[in-house]
């Protein structure tokens, strides 16, 4: 039996397994989306209020107070700013390096399992197309066996082919939508973390500049 006959025999088994695979991918995608939604909810904070409190403490020169306020927050934005503040004694350059490192770690935490959503969103239609091809092959086989007559088996095979394509598209659309939403949310949170960290860096630079004249005197 050559490769074509093997593939034909495999296709004649039907596309039901393709549709069940798509259903399984859809269930996993929904589970990941729900887990990420919960994750982002429990790690959110009022960043505007946090920023105001941070600036108020820094203007007073209360570094410990600013650190305590940031540590009270569970947000990744606060973690980025805390990383910069913890390096205050090493200078603004060291604080900036540590802040960038914390941003990368925060991004990795927030992007966990999102690659699966992106993969499903991009490839579910192709999996559905595979089911369509299998259904069409079975339809032609049924047409050949019936000598060109329209039978119930032929219509069932055609219906199976169309359903496989529809399921592939239905699985892909929510996965792509959630993937894009989470990526946008991550970008926003990273930007807010950079903004908070920039306030700390500005404080460190200004503190160093005011300290230099005193040392010169």
pLDDT single digits (tens) 15-70: 678 888 899 999 999 999 999 999 999 988 888 898 898 888 888 888 888 888 88
Rounded to whole angstroms, the Cα distance separating 23 from 157 reads 19
Has this prediction a pTM greater than 0.85? no
pLDDT level of residue 2 (50, 70, 90 thresholds): low
Rounded to whole angstroms, the Cα distance separating 5 from 100 reads 57
Least confident span in 48-52, 76-80, 81-85, 213-217: 213-217
Position 174 scores a pLDDT of: 93
- Of the candidates 13, 5, 15, 52, which has an alpha carbon nearest to the alpha carbon of residue 164? 15
**DSSP codes joined into one string, 146-185:** TTT---HHHHHHHHHHHHHHHHHHHHHHHHHHHHHHHHHH
Residue found under tokens 């086989």: 141
If one counts every other C-beta atom within 10 angstroms of the C-beta of residue 133, the result is 16
pLDDT digits (tens, 9 = 90+) for 115-137: 999 999 999 999 888 888 887 87
Position 148 scores a pLDDT of: 58
Residue 18 and residue 45 in contact, taking contact as beta carbons nearer than 8 Å: no
Position 80 scores a pLDDT of: 85
Rounded to whole angstroms, the Cα distance separating 171 from 126 reads 11
Q: Could you state, in order of their start, the residue ranges of all structural domains in the chain? A: 3-207
Q: What angle do the packed helices 47-59 and 63-71 form, to 10 degrees?
A: 160
Burial class, 86, CB count within 10 angstroms (exposed 0-12 / middle 13-18 / buried 19+): middle
For residues 139 and 147, the model is more confident at: 139
């Amino acid at each position: 039996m050559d490769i074509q006959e093997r593939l034909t025999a495999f296709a004649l088994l039907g596309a039901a397994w393709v549709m069940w695979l798509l259903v399984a991918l859809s269930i996993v995608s929904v589970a990941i989306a729900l887990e990420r939604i919960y994750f982002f909810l429990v790690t959110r904070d009022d960043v505007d209020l946090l920023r105001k409190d941070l600036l108020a403490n820094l203007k007073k020169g209360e570094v410990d107070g600013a650190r305590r306020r940031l540590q009270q927050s569970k947000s990744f934005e606060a973690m980025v700013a805390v990383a910069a503040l913890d390096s205050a004694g090493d200078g603004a350059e060291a604080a900036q390096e540590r802040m960038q490192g914390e941003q990368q770690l925060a991004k990795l935490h927030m992007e966990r399992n999102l690659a699966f959503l992106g993969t499903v969103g991009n490839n579910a239609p192709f999996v559905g197309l595979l089911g369509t091809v299998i259904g069409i092959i079975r339809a032609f086989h049924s047409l050949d066996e019936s000598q060109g007559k329209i039978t119930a088996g032929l219509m069932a095979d055609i219906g199976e082919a169309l359903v496989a394509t529809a399921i592939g598209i239905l699985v892909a659309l929510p996965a792509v939508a959630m993937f894009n939403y989470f990526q946008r949310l991550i970008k926003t949170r990273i930007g807010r973390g950079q903004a908070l960290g920039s306030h700390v860096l500005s404080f460190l630079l200004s503190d160093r500049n005011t300290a230099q004249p005193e040392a010169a005197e």
